[in-house]
Amino acid sequence: MMSTQRYNRYEKARIIGARALQIAHGAPVLIETDQTQPILIAAEEYDAGVLPFTVNRGQHT
Amino acid sequence: MSETQYHATDRFEFVDEDVELLVEDTDLPRRLKNELYETIDDRGGMDLEAVEEVASAVESRYVNTRVDPLDPVGTVSAQSIGEPGTQMSVPYDEKVLVRRDGETDVTEIGSLIDGLMAVRESADVDGHEVTSGPEGMEVLSLRADERVEWKPLEQVSRHEAPEELLRFELESGRSIRATKAHSFVVQDDSGDIVPIAGDELAVGDELPVAGEYDARAGEADVSTLEAETALTDGGVVASKASQQSSIVGTASWDRIESIETVEPDHEYVYDFSVAGLETFTTAQGVVTHNTMNTFHYAGVAEIDVTQGLPRLIELVDARKTPDTPMMTVHLEDEYATERERAHEVVWKIEATKILALGDISTNVADMLVQIDLNPDTLAERWPTVDDVEAVAEEIASTIESALGVQTRQSGMLIEFGPEEPSYRDLLQLVEDLREIVFKGIEDVSRVVIRKEETEKGEEFVLYTEGSALGDVLDIEGVDASRATCNNIHEIYRNLGVEAAREAIIDETMNTLEEQGLDDVNVRHLMLVADIMTNDGEIESIGRHGISGSKDSVLARAAFEVTVSHLLDAAIHGEVDGLDGVTENVIVGKPIKLGTGDVDLRMNPGKGGSTD
């Protein structure tokens, strides 16, 4: 389901940014990875499509 | 004065022979050597070692800064930069070096040019009579690489002498007189060679000179130069005949001793125009620089236009009338190509008042204002009317309707007076008479006509002081599609917002370009123009315009007069939705743009494994 939704670059940046913050604060990582930096882990999670986020586009497009 | 004849020991109490030997041995010029002696004397004598130290210090300073005679000194980059002056010439009896068919001659510039003017057809360029130079005649000119070279004389010109001339006396005894705006070339502090106007030269500046100066003869000996060059060039001692090579040597530099103003004693001042770097050399060897390129600045004064920051502020503030209103009027068809037709349009635009048409006198005895019209002026300003009398009648009737008086007109004479004999009324009539516009547009006080290269080829373009675009567009011969003015509101009234938007872009861009800011992207200016014209009418940017009419209190307060905006908002109970950029920056929230505009929700428990 998640992989079918297309995000624009602002949404992608925001999602990875928010997730990296969570990881940095000690949230459990959702995938197997060799990465150590929160931002890179978040990027891999995003690519794997496992992140529990939705973007509410509500009023506009 | 030869060096060996100079006896410092006799003149200075504390200078002995050893010191003299030491000082005389340096490469210093006489002036500096004397100063050195004076210094030694002032200190009541110095020991030999100290003298040697001082002398060598002075010498190394001097050698570093001086330019040896006949040494090439950098690149002469003296290109024509717009000289604002109106006259730049030398007076009648200034002698110049010319060469004709290999014969070097010294002649008075005035008699040479007057002679040419008498036999040749001369063109009138903005008050300067210009004619081509005599064939085969050459003058000594400074080349770009600092060499002095014979260059063909392309054009000569003369114009009426100004009230004052400048006279420069150089260290070597040479002198030159020139008009204040006549330009010379000098070296600036960094050693670059730059053109400079005559009245900016100061004592101590150095001018380039050529040849060796013989004070007794009062002329520079260029022949030595030629011989020297021939030697170095070919290793053969050249005879006078071998003047094939046009390069005769390099320029050297000569300090200015004194500058004074003198009155010209001839009617005209004169100028040479030389191919390439436009310099020529006077008989005394002083190289002067001239630029025919700047002639359009001469004679007819330019229209004064507000430029730079004041103009930019004026545009952005959307002032109702600019400080210096002006129009640029292009012409159609034959009006654009024929000077006489173009002038017809000029007279239709430029306001003609009575002072331009004739002489006014007041006859107090008979209580009459008398106008003596000048028939030539009438014929010139009403080119389409053949009968000058008819013009005079028209003028008389214009006066009648404008002043409400009865006029008597016969031939070129018009007289009228107040109904009741009253000295005050009479004077009032004269005052009012001066204000009447007989022809042309009242707001346009002056029109300058100029031939220019445009996309339609060479054509006449009119520049006006004062603007009235609406009136000009209706005049026959005016190309309405290319007529513009610098008053944005006038363009808006006559041509609409889109034209006004375009005008704002053009005017701001031109203003920036004139200041050398031509690499500003137009899109910035387009954005400004778009905002200013967005409502369908012109709005200024400042406090009273765009910035002052924003919806958000915080955005307005951030611009100007913060306190009163906040106070007013508080009094009226205004609410700020924090929608704009400024408001969010003020309150420290992310702005609603890009990543800041993404509404992200987390679904707890939903994530975890990929399904």
Largest Cα span, chain A: 40
Asked whether the predicted pLDDT for residue A17 surpasses 90, the reply is yes
Across B455-561, the runs of DSSP E, i.e. the strands, are 457-465, 484-485
Q: In B208-297, where does DSSP find H-type helix?
A: 222-234
Residues B439, B347 contacting (CB under 8 angstroms)? yes
Q: Does A42 touch chain B (CB under 8 A)?
A: no
Asked whether the predicted pLDDT for residue B35 surpasses 90, the reply is no
CA B71 to chain centre: 33
CA distance A33 to chain B (A): 14
Q: How far is CA B384 from CA B173, B343, B345, in A?
A: 61, 11, 11
DSSP secondary structure string for all residues of B45-73: ---HHHHHHHHHHHHHHHHHH---TT---
Please state the domain extents for chain A: 2-48
What is the ipTM, given to two decimal places? Answer: 0.83
CATH class of B87-294: mainly beta
Percentage of chain B modeled with pLDDT above 70: 71
Residues B485, B327 contacting (CB under 8 angstroms)? yes
* Residues of chain A contacting B601 with CB distance shorter than 8 Å: 53-56
pLDDT: which is higher, B361 or B241: B361
pLDDT: which is higher, B367 or B193: B367
Query: Which CATH code is given to the segment(s) A2-48?
Result: 3.90.940.10
Tokens 């960094």, located at residue: B190
Please state which of the ranges B299-308, B319-328, B436-445, B464-473 shows the lowest mean pLDDT.
Answer: B299-308
Asked whether the predicted pLDDT for residue B15 surpasses 90, the reply is no
A-B Cβ pairs (cutoff 8 Å, strict): 48
Average pLDDT over every residue of B402-426: 82
DSSP for residue B590 = P
Beta carbons of A51 and B610 less than 8 Å apart = no
CATH architecture assignment, domain B352-435? 2-Layer Sandwich (3.30)
Percentage of chain B modeled with pLDDT above 90: 7
Residues B429, B414 contacting (CB under 8 angstroms)? no
CA B427 to chain centre: 41
User: So what's the pLDDT on residue B348?
Assistant: 86
Most B CBs within 10 Å, among A31, A50, A60, A61, to test the B interface: A50
pLDDT: which is higher, B470 or B60: B470
User: So what's the pLDDT on residue B609?
Assistant: 44
Beta carbons of B610 and A50 less than 8 Å apart = yes
Task: Report the alpha-carbon distance of residue B443 to residue B328 in Å, rounded.
Answer: 14
Q: Does A48 touch chain B (CB under 8 A)?
A: yes
Mean pLDDT of chain B: 74
Q: Which token pair is B270?
A: 């004169």
CA distance B550 to chain A (A): 23
Q: Does A44 touch chain B (CB under 8 A)?
A: no
A6 band by pLDDT with thresholds 50, 70 and 90: confident
Task: Report the alpha-carbon distance of residue B163 to residue A60 in Å, rounded.
Answer: 76
Of B527, B507, B495, which Cα lies nearest the Cα of B314? B507
Collapsed DSSP state (helix, strand, coil) of residue B499: helix
Most confident of B242-251, B381-390, B412-421, B477-486: B477-486
Residues B196, B185 contacting (CB under 8 angstroms)? yes
Task: Report the alpha-carbon distance of residue B488 to residue B163 in Å, rounded.
Answer: 42
In CATH terms, the fold of domain B550-597 is DNA polymerase; domain 1 (1.10.150)
Average pLDDT over every residue of B244-271: 66
Burial class (CB in 10 A: 0-12, 13-18, 19+), B316: middle
* Residues of chain A contacting B600 with CB distance shorter than 8 Å: 11, 14-15, 18, 53-56
Beta carbons of A56 and B597 less than 8 Å apart = no
User: What are the pLDDT digits (tens) for B146-169?
Assistant: 566 676 776 677 777 777 777 777
Most A CBs within 10 Å, among B599, B601, B609, to test the A interface: B599
User: So what's the pLDDT on residue A32?
Assistant: 92
DSSP for residue B292 = G
* Residues of chain B contacting A15 with CB distance shorter than 8 Å: 598, 600
User: What are the pLDDT digits (tens) for B427-476?
Assistant: 888 888 888 888 888 888 888 888 888 888 888 888 888 888 888 888 88
Q: Does A14 touch chain B (CB under 8 A)?
A: yes
Beta carbons of B609 and A13 less than 8 Å apart = no
Task: Report the alpha-carbon distance of residue B67 to residue B502 in Å, rounded.
Answer: 54
Beta carbons of A14 and B600 less than 8 Å apart = yes
Residues B328, B485 contacting (CB under 8 angstroms)? yes
Asked whether the predicted pLDDT for residue B587 surpasses 80, the reply is yes
Task: Report the alpha-carbon distance of residue B5 to residue B33 in Å, rounded.
Answer: 14
B231 band by pLDDT with thresholds 50, 70 and 90: very low
Beta carbons of B608 and A58 less than 8 Å apart = no
B605 band by pLDDT with thresholds 50, 70 and 90: low
User: So what's the pLDDT on residue B213?
Assistant: 53
Asked whether the predicted pLDDT for residue A21 surpasses 80, the reply is yes
Average pLDDT over every residue of B403-418: 83
* Residues of chain B contacting A30 with CB distance shorter than 8 Å: 607-609
Q: Does A10 touch chain B (CB under 8 A)?
A: yes
User: So what's the pLDDT on residue B529?
Assistant: 93
Task: Report the alpha-carbon distance of residue B19 to residue B21 in Å, rounded.
Answer: 5
Asked whether the predicted pLDDT for residue A14 surpasses 60, the reply is yes
Average pLDDT over every residue of A23-40: 93
Beta carbons of B598 and A55 less than 8 Å apart = yes
Most A CBs within 10 Å, among B579, B600, B603, B611, to test the A interface: B600
Residues B271, B255 contacting (CB under 8 angstroms)? no
Residues A43, A7 contacting (CB under 8 angstroms)? no
User: So what's the pLDDT on residue B235?
Assistant: 33
Please state the domain extents for chain B: 8-65, 87-294, 352-435, 550-597
Burial class (CB in 10 A: 0-12, 13-18, 19+), B556: buried
B554 band by pLDDT with thresholds 50, 70 and 90: confident
Task: Report the alpha-carbon distance of residue B199 to residue B173 in Å, rounded.
Answer: 20
User: What are the pLDDT digits (tens) for B494-538?
Assistant: 999 999 999 999 999 988 988 888 889 999 999 999 999 998 989
Tokens 């990543």, located at residue: B595
CA distance B556 to chain A (A): 27
Q: How far is CA B325 from CA B194, B304, B446, B469, B574, in A?
A: 35, 10, 11, 11, 42
CA A33 to chain centre: 15
Amino acid type, B128: H
User: So what's the pLDDT on residue B76?
Assistant: 31
Average pLDDT over every residue of B44-57: 81
